[in-house]
Amino acid sequence: MEQDIESPVTIHQPKLPKQAREDLPKNINKECAKRKIQRYVRKDGKCNVHHGNVRETYRYLTDIFTTLVDLKWRFNLLIFVMVYTVTWLFFGMIWWLIAYMRGDMDHIGDSTWTPCVSNLNGFVSAFLFSIETETTIGYGYRVITDKCPEGIILLLVQSVLGSIVNAFMVGCMFVKISQPKKRAETLVFSTNAVISMRDGKLCLMFRVGDLRNSHIVEASIRAKLIKSKQTKEGEFIPLNQTDINVGYYTGDDRLFLVSPLIISHEINQQSPFWEISKAQLPKEELEIVVILEGMVEATGMTCQARSSYITSEILWGYRFTPVLTLEDGFYEVDYNSFHETYETNTPVYSAKELAEMASRAQLPLTWSVSSKLDQHAELETEEEEKNQDDQNERNGDVANLENESKV
């Protein structure tokens, strides 16, 4: 992770977005009041982003179906009622105009006159006939006659358009009702994330769970670090997104979410938390966004649940309380302890500092090669001295034998 650095490039604040101007590096010599961290994603999963100054609003109309589905329920129901009402009024007006232009209104009660629509004596009755035609109710009191070709054509047009309106509006309501957003309400995340040792390594952990008995199929988890940064060239990047590895290469990010699981991120050299210690963590302005995705078992639709953790919600030196117990013939999950943590012995140093201390502790092992070379040289010296002594002893024995032979 690249560190924010001071740049000699002059930054013109008025040309930057509001968030960028607020997050510009401050002079460390000036004492500034602590600014409240603004969430990018709220705890309930809703994104805290508002789109402003959108000039190309016509793009919403090009995808009118998605626009209607995304509307709030009160607006969706209002449009649903208005579409049908306007359609019935429009065709009712046309039926009344046909009867008026044919003179049916002047021959009401005349048994010798064949009207376009029997028993149509005003706009109200034309409106009721329009409703009966489009909804195919067919009470049998008002019927079209065979002496009105324009009425037959209008009947065909209203029947076809009515079917299209029904398919569009009913489909829109069905999709909105069956949206998997409510299914995400039963996917829960722990209130806090924790940092502690696991298998001798410093890890960032959080817990996820599913409250329903129907499972999420092909569930997967991923995490993002949201933190503003400044490049070496002086470019300011607000809310830069960095991937946090939660088991992508090992397959641990694919979950079998039957019981609550603890998701672990190992803080190594590739981790954005590599140089962050316990003392430095509260000073960081960052946010961890976690995303759980999967298919709803009942409907097969993709469901996504989101949550986030800011620095004040990351507990250093804690672990999650176990929630799974073995009962008589089954496992029981105690969701009362789902968010609970307990303190544990954890180094206050960053993962980088721990790795450096571990490497320093292993330095004698790295010197073993040179020490072995010295030991080898000493052994060779000792062997040479021993060989020299043996040679001297052999020379003395030979000299003694020669003296004895001379005697």
pLDDT of residue 382: 66
SS3 state at 399: helix
User: What residues does CATH 2.60.40.1400 cover in the chain?
Assistant: 183-357
Contact between residue 347 and residue 221 where contact means Cβ atoms under 8 Å apart: no
Burial classification of residue 275, based on how many CB atoms lie within 10 Å of its CB (0-12 exposed, 13-18 middle, 19 or more buried): middle
pLDDT of residue 31: 38
The torsion angles phi and psi of 60, rounded to 5 degrees, stand at -65, -30
Structural Rg of the chain based on CA atoms: 41
pLDDT in tens, the chain (407 residues): 434 433 344 444 444 444 444 544 444 334 334 456 788 999 888 888 888 887 777 777 788 888 888 888 899 999 999 999 999 999 999 999 999 998 888 888 788 888 888 888 889 999 999 999 888 887 878 888 888 899 999 999 999 999 999 999 999 888 888 777 777 888 999 999 999 999 989 999 999 999 888 888 889 999 999 999 888 898 999 989 999 999 988 899 999 999 999 999 999 999 999 999 999 999 999 999 999 999 888 778 888 999 999 999 999 999 999 999 988 889 999 999 999 999 999 999 999 999 998 888 865 533 343 344 455 556 566 666 666 666 665 555 545 544 444 43
Alpha-helical segments (H) within 71-191: 73-102, 123-135, 149-177
**% the chain with pLDDT above 90:** 43
Rounded CA-CA distance 353/47 in Å is 35
SS3 state at 303: strand
SS3 state at 37: coil
| pLDDT one-digit tens code per residue, 336-353 | 999 999 999 999 999 999
pTM for the full model? 0.67
pLDDT of residue 395: 56
Q: What architecture is domain 183-357?
A: Sandwich (2.60)
User: What residues does CATH 1.10.287.70 cover in the chain?
Assistant: 57-178
Task: Note the CATH number of domain 57-178.
Answer: 1.10.287.70
Enumerate helices (H) and strands (E) in the chain, giving the number of each.
9, 14
